Amino acid sequence: MRAALFALLLLAAPLAFLSGARAATPDDIFAVYARGDYEQAARLGEAAHTAPGLAIAARAVLAEDVLRDKPCMDCLKRAESLARSAIALDPHYAYGQIWLAVALGYQARLTGAVVARLANTPKQSRQALDQALADDPNNPFAISALGGWNIEIVRGGGAFLARVLYGATQAEALALFDKAEKLDPSNVAVHYQIGLSLAGYDADKFRLRIASEFRAAVAGHPQTVYERHIQDRANDLLGLADRGPREALDARIRLYQGFAD
């Protein structure tokens, strides 16, 4: 019954503003995003000129980019711009900061660690996530994203430099992942991102945890079309882990993480 009601809301909510009767609200824009119409959601969010609307627009652009076969730097730059516009209107709206950090993280995977460091990307991402958590301390997306930030810094620079230069550690990442899951144990996206982060970092060391995260993602109840797609990806990675070869699994992990190769 809940699933059917949700589907009806996704179809019905946008009708009023699409017909010009009223401006799109954040709920309206999110409904368009949730049904998978990412470009329309981005346009509506941008036109709304509110922090929530622009943040959803950034999220929509990111979702579309993540689901591409090849990453798109121009798309990531667009998501960054939308997120920064949301922050300019309200720096204390957590989701603007979260999607800015996510956009910068994906950009760093395309430019490489050296260019990202020169552009101060890791520090910008950390500052955005710190601000998001200051304003919304129990936001599972912000908490899991900060865990992913720690893992990425350690993976890229090694444990010593990551700790010295940025204060990033594996232990902090794992603690943040655990906290995000406790706060929202049914969140499909959080489970998937934790599994993907750990798979890209050390697929052997965290084999059991990675499999558990992907299984939880697959077993969850998706609230958006995007979550249904990442459930498929989690199931795909579980299958590759079971049947191999390892090279195929590693290549798929990098693809899903947004690397160019």
**pLDDT tens over the chain, length 261 residues:** 444 444 444 444 454 455 455 679 999 999 999 999 999 999 999 999 999 999 999 999 999 999 999 999 999 999 999 999 999 999 999 999 999 999 999 999 999 988 988 899 999 999 999 999 999 999 999 999 999 999 999 999 899 999 999 999 999 999 999 999 999 999 999 999 999 999 999 999 999 999 999 999 999 999 999 999 999 999 999 999 998 799 999 999 999 999 987
- Tokens of residue 166, six digits: 């940025």
Q: Please give the Cα distance from 159 to 1 (Å, whole number).
A: 49
Q: What angle do CA 28, 29, 33 make, to 5 degrees?
A: 120
Q: Please give the Cα distance from 193 to 141 (Å, whole number).
A: 10
Q: Please give the Cα distance from 261 to 256 (Å, whole number).
A: 11
pLDDT of residue 19: 47
pLDDT of residue 244: 79
pLDDT of residue 23: 78
Alpha-helix runs per DSSP H in the chain: 2-12, 15-18, 26-34, 38-48, 51-66, 73-89, 94-111, 113-118, 121-135, 140-161, 170-183, 188-202, 207-219, 225-243, 246-257
The number of C-alpha atoms within 13 Å of 125 and in the hemisphere containing its C-beta is: 27
Q: What is the pTM of this model?
A: 0.91
How many beta carbons lie within 10 A of that of residue 246, not counting itself?
11
Q: Please give the Cα distance from 153 to 169 (Å, whole number).
A: 8
Distance of CA 150 to the CA centre of its chain: 15
Q: Please give the Cα distance from 155 to 159 (Å, whole number).
A: 8
**Contact predicate 157/147, CB 8 Å:** no
